[in-house]
Amino acid sequence: ESGAIEQDADEIITMAQQSKHCQKYRMIKYRHGMDGWSFYTRFNPNNGEIEEITGDQAMSVISYDEDNE
């Protein structure tokens, strides 16, 4: 019964690492409203800071991380 978690949950958010400092979260299930939306965060591992950013800012962070690998 691998679908039991999804069946019982009111909301499910997935996270995908886009680069070293950027993650994309997606609301794939929300029982009390609209689902299917997503947002980006910038992660600074040196101090544990997570900040929500726009899609344009996320593309800049991803590009910066790719250039500095």
Residues 10-58 have pLDDT tens digits of 888 999 999 999 999 999 888 888 888 999 999 998 999 999 999 999 9
Pair 44, 4: CB distance under 8 Å: no
pLDDT value for 57: 97
Collapse the DSSP code of 62 into the 3-class scheme (helix H, G, I; strand E, B; otherwise coil) and give the result: helix
Collapse the DSSP code of 59 into the 3-class scheme (helix H, G, I; strand E, B; otherwise coil) and give the result: helix
Give the type of residue at 12: I
Q: How many C-beta atoms surround the C-beta of residue 13 within 10 A?
A: 14
pTM of the full structure: 0.79
pLDDT value for 39: 96
| Greatest Cα-to-Cα distance within the chain, rounded to the nearest angstrom | 44
